[in-house]
């Protein structure tokens, strides 16, 4: 990645924070949900799938299984019949059935309020746990998806070796109190302005502002 010219990394981070705050002052949670459990389910289902597609499937799933007990009763086969339009549906149906049972057996039917507890559940990795902690329990976290991973590299905020490194780099650059909003703001910006094909690090407003002299496309490292 080329030299940043006069603007240092911390200065670029400040510009990103200001511009995204102007564009998305109160970013909504893009996955439709009613509570911690339905958010957890929706986030799990969103792996390798668009939020829009998940939001098309979850109304019927949540109508029939709005809590761990009804999800366990619904069972893997019926869960699969509802979520089949989603990618990785077989594995996700298995995870949801196991997750519901584990919540009942080990967590009294409640979604755990810790990273350790969440990550012990079937199908729940660090990113999913981070989203739930941030959006359900308001605990500062910085979940990194492909949009954030891509933009962090284009904006010179991370070397982008992997999503965990990107997460660490962003947490160092931005105030802890901003993490939850910034996670959503960067996702929205990545979808609207700095898409994988629509921008190459030289076209969107923020890329041009941060790197006005950049002429060479940024080849980002995919996670």
pLDDT digits (tens, 9 = 90+) for 147-186: 899 999 999 999 878 899 999 999 999 999 999 999 999 9
Reference 196, options 163, 161, 157, 149; nearest CA is 149
Q: Stretch 37-43: mean pLDDT, rounded?
A: 98
pLDDT of residue 147: 86
Given a cut of 80, is residue 222 above it in pLDDT? no
Domain extents in the chain: 9-27+142-210, 36-135
Token pair recorded at residue 169? 């780099």
Q: Stretch 44-58: mean pLDDT, rounded?
A: 94
Q: Stretch 15-30: mean pLDDT, rounded?
A: 96
Given a cut of 60, is residue 5 above it in pLDDT? no
Q: Alpha-carbon dihedral of residues 82, 86, 88, 89, nearest 10 degrees? A: 0
Reference 170, options 20, 6, 2; nearest CA is 20
Residue with the larger pLDDT of the pair 160 and 41: 41
Given a cut of 60, is residue 3 above it in pLDDT? no
- Span 68-92, pLDDT tens digits: 999 999 999 999 999 999 989 999 9
If one counts every other C-beta atom within 10 angstroms of the C-beta of residue 113, the result is: 14
- Span 111-141, pLDDT tens digits: 999 999 999 999 999 999 999 999 999 999 9
Given a cut of 80, is residue 48 above it in pLDDT? yes
- Span 87-101, pLDDT tens digits: 899 999 999 999 999
Assigned architecture for domain 9-27+142-210: Orthogonal Bundle (1.10)
Q: How far apart are CA 162 and CA 158, in angstroms?
A: 10
- pTM of this prediction? 0.89
pLDDT of residue 2: 45
Q: Name the least confident of 23-32, 51-60, 110-119, 160-169.
A: 160-169
**Under CATH, which number does the domain 36-135 receive?**
1.10.340.30
- Span 184-202, pLDDT tens digits: 999 999 999 999 899 999 9
């Amino acid at each position: 990645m080329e030299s940043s010219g006069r603007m240092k990394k911390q200065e670029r981070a400040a510009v990103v924070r200001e511009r995204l705050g102007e564009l998305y002052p109160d970013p909504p949670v893009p996955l439709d949900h009613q509570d911690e459990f339905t958010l957890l389910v929706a986030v799990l289902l969103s792996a390798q799938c668009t939020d829009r597609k998940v939001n098309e499937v979850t109304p019927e799933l949540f109508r029939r299984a709005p809590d761990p007990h009804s999800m366990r009763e619904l069972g893997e086969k019926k869960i699969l019949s509802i979520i089949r339009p989603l990618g990785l549906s077989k594995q996700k149906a298995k995870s949801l059935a196991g997750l519901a049972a584990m919540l009942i057996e080990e967590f009294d039917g409640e979604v755990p309020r810790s990273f350790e507890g969440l990550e012990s559940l079937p199908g729940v990795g660090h990113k999913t746990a981070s989203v739930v902690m941030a959006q359900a329990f308001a605990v500062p976290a910085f979940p990194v998806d492909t949009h954030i991973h891509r933009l962090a590299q284009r904006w010179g905020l991370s070397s982008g070796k992997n999503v965990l490194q990107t997460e660490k780099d962003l947490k160092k650059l931005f105030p802890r109190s901003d993490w939850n909003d910034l996670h959503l703001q960067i996702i929205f910006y990545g979808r609207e302005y700095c898409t994988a094909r629509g921008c190459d690090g030289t076209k969107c407003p923020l890329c041009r502002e941060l790197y006005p002299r950049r002429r060479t496309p940024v080849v980002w490292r995919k996670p």
